[in-house]
Structure 1
């Protein structure tokens, strides 16, 4: 038991570390901080490209800390975004990630999708993927979708 009797916080910290460590291993980056920044950038771009109902359903399967980052700065009145191109998606992620040695663009974005695919139910993954514009949907590794 936690010394502060706040097991929910201990649990979300543990789950967040699991998500970040899985991504860090997939992309082979030494920095958990950079991996978390990449995950956050991709998740917030996904959030801004899907309908609000899907945003809520996806977030319900995230650890509390990741869910907080997912919603931080969200402006529902301007989402889903009207610019739904892959180029805009990539540039927005790159602007949030900043200068990270070894960043490989699409490959690392796909690694975030694969990590999400390992952590979120197949049904929700299919719904989110189908809500994304086709140009962005193509980033999602199809082998993470359980028969999609």
Structure 2
């Protein structure tokens, strides 16, 4: 039983590391809003990926973050055919644009940089390769 509890503690710690890293990069102080930004960007990325790549990418996410990544996923609606960075940004804006500190693409890039810092470079490159060119241009190279 204590081994199972350790797994929960570890994944909670890992999720906190991601949230704290993103809070530091954005300057946001409200952890709920930071988590909402992280979740929103991750699900928008998810919706652009083929199933195999989605599974490989999600395997490197902390378990709690992985749960949010898959929450609400509708396989028949993915991958989306959205081609433009402006559409991606607008979709994120629709979810977190009410946050006072939100700075659009700057904060989205902060999420990409958190991913770059916590996911293997090879996997980040694989995910980026699945995205339209405008989204690859938005996502800093790891």
TM-score, normalised on structure 2?
A: 0.95
Higher helix share: 2
| C-alpha contact (below 8 Å) 1:49/1:79 kept by paired residues | yes
For residues 84-139 of structure 1, the C-alpha deviation after alignment (integer angstroms, 9 at most, x for no partner) is 22122111111122411121111100000000000000110100011111111111
Under a length normalisation based on structure 1, what TM-score does the superposition of the two structures give? 0.91
Match of 1:140 in 2: 139
Aligned residues between the structures: 142
1:42-121 to 2 correspondences below 5 Å: 42-121=41-120
Q: Which runs of 5+ in 1 are unaligned?
A: none
Residue ranges of structure 2 left out of the alignment (5+ in a row): none
Separation of aligned partners in 2, 1:114 and 1:80: 23
3-state DSSP class of the match of 1:61? coil
- Counterpart in the other structure of 2:123: 124
Structure 1 ranges of 4+ moved more than 2 A: none
